[in-house]
Amino acid sequence: MKRFLRIYALLFLCMIGLTAYAAETTFIAGTNTSSSTSLTVDDVTLSITGGSLSRDDNYRVYANQTLTISSDYDITSVVFTYSSSSYANLSLDSSSDGSYSTSGTTGTWTGTAKSISFSGSSQSRITQIVVTYSKDDATVVKKTTFSVEEGTYTAAQSVTITQEDGATIYYSTDGEKYSEYKSAIEISKTTTLYAYAQKRKTARAAWLVQTYTIVSLNRRKYLY
């Protein structure tokens, strides 16, 4: 059973190592505001060269000014909701990748880019912006490390778990029930120790599985 759980955990590690996870950030005028020319929510930043991000009713991008949406992750979709079709005046800058179209009060951009810029010859007023991006936390969460190497020991071992960039560490001794790691784990009998580090409750995590075999000196001589 333990061998099965260990194989399952390692297979899960391989699966999450190959998968990106879609995340979504929504900017709502009057709720998400800024008195400056930039506004950041979660992993996405809006910036304007001229306009307003502080109003209660809508975000405004003035004529011949630029709105840029950026993230450290690949943005795959942006959906604008304009206050009316008369103010749905943004167009995709020629320097930006992807495609953009407007229908009534909705403007939709699709593609893959970390930064997209829009501008228009007339003022635009936007009540909501929904940004979808492909989030891959494998580049954020670094390796989890055990203080004691996997192997056979003749005495109990005290195992500490470390993680370089402050992610929350969880561990288990049965591969099923996980607890948040807070202090050294005492291993006094043969145990498979499972641990992973995770940020922001995302599905991506840095996993580690090791088995510690504890034998008495009398029993140890029969193993060789």
Domains along the chain? 2-18+139-220 (2.60.40.10), 21-135 (2.60.120)
Q: What is the pLDDT of residues 39-64, one digit of tens each?
A: 999 999 999 999 999 999 999 999 99
H-run or E-run covering 13: helix 2-16
Strand 151-153 with 66-82, pairing: unpaired
Confidence band for 138, pLDDT divided at 50, 70 and 90: very low
Mean pLDDT of 8-32: 68
Count of beta carbons in the 10 Å neighbourhood of residue 20: 17
Mean pLDDT of 125-147: 80
Question: What does the angle CA 119 – CA 124 – CA 126 come to, to the nearest 5 degrees?
Answer: 115
> Would the pTM of this model clear 0.85, i.e. be above it?
no
